[in-house]
Homo-oligomer: A and B are copies of this chain.
Amino acid sequence: MKKKERHQLLRQLVQQETIRKQEDFVNKLLDRGIEVTQATISRDIKELQLIKVPAKDGGYQYNLPPEMNYNISKKLGRLMKDAFVSIDTQKEFVLVKTLPGNAFALGTLIETANYKEVFGCISGDDTVLIICRDEESAERFQRRIISFI
């Protein structure tokens, strides 16, 4: 487990789970068989610029950095409305066609959004290939994306 992978995982965790303190991270990682200490998490958090947000419900919760977290879906929506051409799925793959030059931006947004359905994605000039976790995820993800248009 390299630092980069761990960081990636932390970004996912912070979106999928409720992380109230750094030890929660430690434990979630432990669940996945990854051993790290709170100190390491503290440093990771600093590098990733994760923030601890006072929640409405009285507690606290870690979150993605504001710029990253804020209105990604709004940006996605705008870009989709502007540049979407077509979409199709095949097994666990989703292929989105965009107007020329827009695929990279779309791919970046999709990666940043960190959807749990998505395993990874590759962007060309007018095509984004999204590799989902499985067939079902791909369909769910397709619906998600289409709903932006």
Contact = CB atoms under 8 A, between A and B. Distances in A.
A50 B46 contact: no
A32 B60 CA distance: 30
A49 interface: yes
B50 A51 contact: no
A33 interface: no
Determine how many copies of this chain the complex contains.
2
A33 to B, nearest CB: 27
Interface in A63-82: 63, 65-67, 69-71
A53 interface: yes
Interface residues of A, number: 18
Given A51-B53, A51-B54, 11 more contacts: A46-B54, A46-B60, A47-B54, A49-B54, A50-B54, A51-B52, A51-B66, A52-B52, A53-B65, A53-B66, A70-B70
16 contacts: A45-B54, A46-B60, A47-B54, A49-B53, A49-B54, A50-B54, A51-B51, A51-B52, A51-B53, A52-B52, A53-B65, A66-B66, A66-B69, A66-B70, A67-B70, A70-B71
